[in-house]
Amino acid sequence: MKKVSILVLFLTLSTILTAAGIKESIRSFTIGAAINSAQIRGADTLGVAVIKDNFNSIVAENCMKSEVLQPQKGHYVFDLADKFVQFGVDNDMEIIGHTLIWHEQLPKWFTLNDDGTTVGRDELIARMKGHITTVVNRYKGKVKGWDVVNEAILDDGSWRKTPFYDIIGEDYIRLAFEFAHRADPDAELYYNDFSTALPKKREAIVRLVKRLKEQGVRIDAVGMQGHINLEFPKSSEFEKSIVAFASQGVKVMITEFDISTLPSVNFGANVSDRFKYTDALDPYRDGLTPSIQSAWDEKVAEFFALFFKHSNKISRVTVWGVADSDSWKNNWPIVGRTDYPLLFDRNYKPKPIVEWIIQNAK
């Protein structure tokens, strides 16, 4: 209770302070944002200004996914990804590539033959190699690190049964990392997943990192996505995962941080989850209630305090979007809701918690 009132007092007072950018205040890790096509193309001028003032790291929200980069076999479309990388270069930002091998936003051709049958093992490995090599090579020396494999493990710690797993077996992960390393030996390579605070998933990721290291594969960090809500996870469980991953000799990155304020209807961040809209599931169209607002403030403060506590293990914290209106949470897992998961409001103004982050940064 005492903690809450101190935070409320701070947030009230902070509205009279003028906020410097977040990036100047954080010295121990980079602070990033996922950026969308309107920002990359410069159409969202307010969003671009917020990005330049506050973030020193960027990741592509969608434009480096395989369905965008290689919509048809052998036909690459680099237009937006090139602009994204140029934006990072022009603004002297750390550029993160997301993502090379993922079962979502994966074009159909990737795992199918022309006649619609499923490709064989050797062919899928060849396609993975071709895609990874072409993409990583194009941005060699500019992209600092890649989410090489995204979401390969289920909440119970078993392998997710993706086409990559089904056709190649668990070795597809090692192969993907090796292809990426060969294409750019200087690039950092990451494994990225959601719900990484769950004990079984945590243990499985630890096993994966250990195995890759035993096999002599380069892996620099585990990305904990951090799509969370007011109920899940507890910061104590999240903390156990930060410690467990770091103990394997890799860095930890919080790669897709957002805290939804809305009633949750599912668990985790499976992008294929879809639920029907009802008014009851969209209660804050006209603004948050004071109690939800303070619960959100408290949870952001609690998690950033955790990140600062473990700043020797964490190399980057990235939020999944800039202003609330950008957030994928407005349309996932239910289309058309109004959520408030990010650090900047719908008027592109920093929320009071931003000043708290600045004042408490390490």
Q: Residue 271, interface with ligand XIL (CB under 6 A)?
A: yes
| Residue 246-265 contact track with ligand XIL, rule CB under 6 A, x = bound | ----------x---------
Q: From the candidates 178, 188, 256, 355, give the one annotated as an active-site residue.
A: 256
Any contact of residue 195 with ligand XIL (CB under 6 A)? no
| The residue to which tokens 């997943």 are assigned | 193
**Residue among 39, 54, 62, 293 that touches ligand XIL (CB under 6 A):** 62
CB of 59 to ligand XIL, least distance (A): 9
Least Å from the CB of residue 119 to ligand XIL: 24
Name residues whose C-beta falls within 8 Å of residue 177's C-beta, 6 or more positions apart in sequence.
Answer: 148, 149, 189, 212, 217, 218, 219
Given a contact cutoff of 8 angstroms between Cβ atoms, the answer to whether 263 and 231 are in contact is no
Among 143, 189, 269, 319, binds ligand XIL (CB under 6 A): 269
**Between 19 and 103, whose beta carbon lies closer to ligand XIL?**
103
Shortest distance (Å) from residue 46 CB to ligand XIL:
19
Asked whether position 61 contacts ligand XIL by CB under 6 A, the answer is yes
User: To the nearest whole angstrom, how small is the minimum distance from the Cβ of residue 19 to ligand XIL?
Assistant: 26
CB of 314 to ligand XIL, least distance (A): 18
150 belongs to the binding site for ligand XIL (CB under 6 A)? yes
Nearer to ligand XIL, 11 or 208 (CB): 208
Catalytic annotation on 256? yes
Catalytic, 151? Answer yes
Name the site residues for ligand XIL (rule: CB under 6 A).
Answer: 61-62, 150, 225, 256, 269, 271, 328
Catalytic residues: 151, 256
